[in-house]
Amino acid sequence: MQDELTTLIPLAVLIPLFGSAFAFAFYRQQTVQRMVTVISLLVTLVLEIALIAAVWHGETLAVHVAGWPAPWGISMVVDQFSALMLVVSSLITLAVLLYAIGQGAAEEGQDTGPVSIFYPTYLILVAGVSNAFLAGDLFNLYVGFEIFLTASYVLLTMGGGEQRIRAGVTYVVVSIISSMLFLITIGAVYAATGTVNLADLAIKLGELDDHIQLLLHVMLLVAFGIKAAVFPLAFWLPDSYPTAPAPVTAVFAGLLTKVGIYSIIRTETLLFPGTQLNTALMVVALLTMIVGILGALVQSDIKRMLSFTLISHIGYLVFGLALSSVVGMTATIYYVAHHITIQTTMFLVTGLIERRAGTSNVDRLGSLAKLSPLLAILFFVPAMNLAGIPPFSGFVGKIGMIQGGIAENTWAAWMLVAGTMITSVLTLLAVARIWSRSFWRKAEDAEDPDPLLLPKSLEHGRAANRRLMPMNLVGPTTFLVSLTVAFTVAAGPLMSFSQQAARDMYERTPYLEAVLGEERVDGVREELVEIASEIPDLDTEDDGVDDFAPVTTTTESEDGEDTYGTDDEGSE
Amino acid sequence: MTVNLTLVLVMGVMLATGVYMVLERSLTRVVLGVILISNGANLMILMSGGRAGEAPLVRDYLSSEDYFDPLPQALLLTAIVIAFALVAFMLALVYRSWVIGRQDEVVDDPEDRRVAAQPVYDPEEDSEIPTETTEFDGGGGAPTEEAAEPAPDSRRARRERREGRD
């Protein structure tokens, strides 16, 4: 069973690609095209759920494409982290696809509806993202990046209006430059080590001179940092994302930057597990958080504001991975999955707001809570989640990072702990501003409100809801909102899953054994164990309170059992 | 590892010129710069295979050191195809930008300029509310004196502070 499943791994990339070809062949029949797209994504999702079930207890599956053994052929690897990323990305791409179909149906007859190129391109995007998550070598990762980036260029400039072309030019040029940097780095890595296989690199990079290691490390981080939108490499994001149609922005914001973060995490755990750049990464994380959220506070367009909070929350992820501890990485893995979902949800809800109110500019919005209580709930839940209000999943992830930061107990980590809290409060301020203006304020008080917000009576307004927000748009959004809540409910199992994943990633032997075989790893096992033993693993069954947290609280009972276990906070 | 000095020099010139051109505001030059950078990167990958050798086809009379490393060539071919697609797309984009706006330059984001130009003073958040519009006090009760007529001195003080800041 296990072996058969392993050989099926490449299908996670191939099904969307073939689906795309079929969808494109039927470009005249919109219905067939939609069916092909939905079915390909559903089959991919089923396959990926099977994969995550197979690796749930810590196994790592690797397939060598065409039977070429590891350092020479192309390998695809599924470990717990990539399986989780695959499932989450498929869930949200499916939900966004249904939303896009709903939007296409709602706008039929107008020119603004998706053109026949949308569905094939969307599937190519999904294939590229899956390929990047599965890639077992650096060059395949580059190819994955290029596949989904090229698809994203097309999706972003779809329709070719003036706004989108203007935003598209910046986006395309910046992305190409970062890809070129990545390509140059691959060349340098190959020149230095003679391999591009990630598992092989993990062994061979350690044998290089320190300064060459540092050079390659920094080059990789810069190339991925542009893609992940880390300050100061994030300036392109708020200019380009908000101009695209709502479903496209939603999937970009949710997924694309996270592929960059995924690659950074792989770089930091698999290739360069040392701690030499941690302080620099922490400074970058702090700046990303603070600059991002300050940018969000001055925006008046909801989409732009969300783009800035996206940047700011990338800072959390960089903080978590810069800790180089199992606690920090656990929280980061959980937070990546949470943040993909939450950011996509927020953009879809904004799409609904834009449809209902005719604009997404908060200065012109009002009365929405009264006109559409459902929309208010759909906005409120993910907004509070984004700000990290307990008991939502954003809180669970952040508390994990703060725990890791306190346990690290260096000046940089303490700065980050403070920065995390300040950013949380400022995020709350930003979403509260949207809430109070768009939902609680009377539309009459807004400057130049859209006529849609000023119905003759409440009944007229409610009747307009059904016309402007049909079920096939509200349905997928509601599904995503409940998925974000599910992250809270399932926080316990998910956290222990992430912890297992984090341990395996720092240990590295499971990954290397799966790709290279045990004999090759046995030769270097001692070194690997030695490096891994330097990574603090804080799980002493009491969340590290006794040994590591320098603060003592009185909430602990006599027998040392803490009464605020973070894992099951939400499920209660 | 042996490296061909001519190739290194050519690569360096290509990358340097490419970077210089990408920094220009004119889109045509940016495209040319991207082409140069991608070709420079390709040369770099080619060089990473070491010195030149026989074509990598297995023949009995050649030992393994005589072959050229085939992997960089495989990577190189893929990279060329990708760069070709990207350049084609960029050309289409630049052409479209020219057709729509007669614009061959990178344009500022208007919303970004607007946000940057807006004053620190926010009429909604910073000014006193002239009339009470809440609906929670039972049908728009009479506005309180203070809300209707804010103390003149505080308003003047605010304005002065604002002007001082500007």
> CB distance B109–A239 less than 8 Å?
yes
- Give the mean pLDDT of B33-44: 93
> CB distance B47–A187 less than 8 Å?
yes
- Give the mean pLDDT of A236-259: 88
Residue A548, pLDDT score: 47
Percent of chain A residues past pLDDT 70, beyond the cut: 91
Q: Which of A225, A93, A64, A238 is nearest to A151 (CA)?
A: A93
- Give the mean pLDDT of A297-314: 90
Disruptive mutation site among A139, A173, A367 for chain B (greatest number of B CBs within 10 Å): A173
A455-505 confidence digits (pLDDT tens): 777 787 787 877 788 888 888 999 999 999 998 888 888 888 998 888 888
Residue A261, pLDDT score: 93
Residue A278, pLDDT score: 85
> CB distance B89–A190 less than 8 Å?
no
Minimum CA–CA partner of A159 in chain B:
B96
Is residue A48 a contact partner of residue A86, using CB atoms and an 8 Å limit? yes
In this complex, the residue of B27, B85, B101 whose CB is nearest that of residue A150 is B85
Residue B15, pLDDT score: 94
**Ranges A73-87, A153-167, A423-437: which has the least confidence:** A153-167
- Report whether pLDDT(A287) > 60: yes
Q: How many CB pairs under 8 A join A and B?
A: 102
Is A444 touching B (CB cutoff 8 A)? yes
Minimum CA–CA partner of B121 in chain A:
A298
Residue B147, pLDDT score: 46
Residue B103, pLDDT score: 73
Residue A452, pLDDT score: 79
- Report whether pLDDT(A54) > 80: yes
Chain A contacts of B107, Cβ < 8 Å? 166
Residue A205, pLDDT score: 86
A309-338 confidence digits (pLDDT tens): 999 999 999 999 888 888 888 999 999 999
- Give the mean pLDDT of A346-365: 87
As a whole number of angstroms, the distance between CA B70 and CA A190 comes to 12
Strands A75-78 and A61-64: what pairing?
Answer: antiparallel
User: What own/partner pairs with CB < 8 Å and gap ≥ 24 does A538-541 have?
Assistant: A538/A325, A538/A326, A538/A327, A538/A403, A538/A404, A538/A407, A539/A326, A539/A327, A539/A499
Is residue A420 a contact partner of residue A403, using CB atoms and an 8 Å limit? no
> CB distance B107–A166 less than 8 Å?
yes
> CB distance B90–A188 less than 8 Å?
no
Residue A461, pLDDT score: 78
User: Given pLDDT bands bounded at 50, 70 and 90, which one contains residue A390?
Assistant: confident
User: What own/partner pairs with CB < 8 Å and gap ≥ 24 does A209-216 have?
Assistant: A213/A272, A214/A276, A214/A277, A215/A188, A216/A185, A216/A188, A216/A189, A216/A192
Is B78 touching A (CB cutoff 8 A)? yes
A26-40 confidence digits (pLDDT tens): 877 788 888 899 999
- Report whether pLDDT(A165) > 90: no
- Give the mean pLDDT of A547-566: 49
> CB distance B90–A173 less than 8 Å?
yes
Residue A106, pLDDT score: 61
Pick the most confident of A12-21, A384-393, B116-125.
Answer: A12-21
- Contacts of residue A185, Cβ cutoff 8 Å, sequence gap at least 6: A216, A219, A220, A223
- Give the mean pLDDT of A98-110: 72
In this complex, the residue of A160, A298, A437 whose CB is nearest that of residue B115 is A298
User: Given pLDDT bands bounded at 50, 70 and 90, which one contains residue A571?
Assistant: very low
As a whole number of angstroms, the distance between CA A552 and CA A544 comes to 12
Chain B contacts of A168, Cβ < 8 Å? 93
Chain A contacts of B40, Cβ < 8 Å? 184
ipTM value: 0.82
> CB distance A146–B82 less than 8 Å?
yes
Chain B contacts of A162, Cβ < 8 Å? 100-101
Q: Residue A215 is which amino acid?
A: L
A129-154 confidence digits (pLDDT tens): 999 999 988 999 999 999 999 999 99
Higher pLDDT, A295 or B109: A295
- Give the mean pLDDT of A205-233: 90
In this complex, the residue of B27, B41, B78 whose CB is nearest that of residue A180 is B41
**Ranges A152-161, A331-340, A555-564, B85-94: which has the least confidence:** A555-564
> CB distance B133–A177 less than 8 Å?
no
Structure tokens at A48: 């990926």
Chain B contacts of A169, Cβ < 8 Å? 27, 93-94, 97, 106
- Report whether pLDDT(A559) > 70: no
User: Given pLDDT bands bounded at 50, 70 and 90, which one contains residue B97?
Assistant: confident
Chain A contacts of B32, Cβ < 8 Å? none
- Give the mean pLDDT of A260-275: 88
Residue ranges with strand state E in A377-489? none
The residues spanned by each domain of chain B are 5-55+66-101, 110-165
Disruptive mutation site among B15, B38, B82 for chain A (greatest number of A CBs within 10 Å): B82
B131-160 confidence digits (pLDDT tens): 666 666 554 444 444 444 444 555 555 555
Is A172 touching B (CB cutoff 8 A)? yes
Residue B125, pLDDT score: 63
> CB distance B93–A169 less than 8 Å?
yes
Which CATH class, in words, describes the domain spanning B5-55+66-101?
Answer: mainly alpha
Higher pLDDT, A116 or A131: A131
CA dihedral B57, B58, B63, B64 (to 10 degrees): 70
Residue B145, pLDDT score: 45
Beta bridge partners, A135, equal A76
Beta bridge partners, B54, equal B67
User: Given pLDDT bands bounded at 50, 70 and 90, which one contains residue A118?
Assistant: confident
> CB distance B45–A183 less than 8 Å?
yes
Structure tokens at A10: 């490449």
Q: DSSP per residue over B81-141, as a string? A: HHHHHHHHHHHHHHHHHHHHH---BPPPPHHHHHHHHS-S--HHHHSPPSS---SSSSSSP
Question: Which residue, chain included where needed, has tokens 């996270």?
Answer: A258
- Report whether pLDDT(A61) > 90: no
- Give the mean pLDDT of A262-272: 90
Q: Which of A407, A446, A430, A438 is nearest to A543 (CA)?
A: A407
Percent of chain A residues past pLDDT 90, beyond the cut: 35
Pick the most confident of A48-62, A401-415, B4-18, B107-121.
Answer: B4-18
> CB distance B48–A187 less than 8 Å?
yes
Higher pLDDT, A533 or A302: A302
Q: What are phi and psi of A335, to 5 degrees?
A: -70, -35
Residue B143, pLDDT score: 47
- Give the mean pLDDT of A256-260: 92
- Give the mean pLDDT of B106-113: 77
As a whole number of angstroms, the distance between CA A366 and CA A447 comes to 10
Q: Residues 136 to 165 of B: which have CB under 8 A from any A CB?
A: none
Indicate the average pLDDT of chain A. 84
Q: How many Cα atoms sit within 13 Å of B54 on the Cβ side?
A: 12
Residue A105, pLDDT score: 65
Q: Which of A335, A173, A179, A186 is nearest to A239 (CA)?
A: A173
Cα of B61 to nearest chain A Cα, Å: 24
- Report whether pLDDT(A416) > 80: yes
> CB distance B45–A239 less than 8 Å?
no
Q: Residues 22 to 81 of A: which have CB under 8 A from any B CB?
A: 72
Is A166 touching B (CB cutoff 8 A)? yes
Q: Residues 293 to 352 of A: which have CB under 8 A from any B CB?
A: 298-301, 304
> CB distance B45–A299 less than 8 Å?
no
User: Given pLDDT bands bounded at 50, 70 and 90, which one contains residue A200?
Assistant: confident
Is residue A54 a contact partner of residue A2, using CB atoms and an 8 Å limit? yes
Q: How many CB atoms lie within 10 A of CB B71?
A: 18
Is B86 touching A (CB cutoff 8 A)? yes
First to last CA, chain A: 37
Residue B140, pLDDT score: 46
Using the CB atoms, write b or e for B28-57: b if 16+ within 10 Å.
Answer: eebbbbbbbbbbbbbbbbbbbbbeeeeeee
- Report whether pLDDT(A546) > 70: no
In this complex, the residue of A153, A161, A437 whose CB is nearest that of residue B89 is A153
> CB distance B133–A300 less than 8 Å?
no
- Report whether pLDDT(A556) > 60: no
- Report whether pLDDT(A356) > 90: no
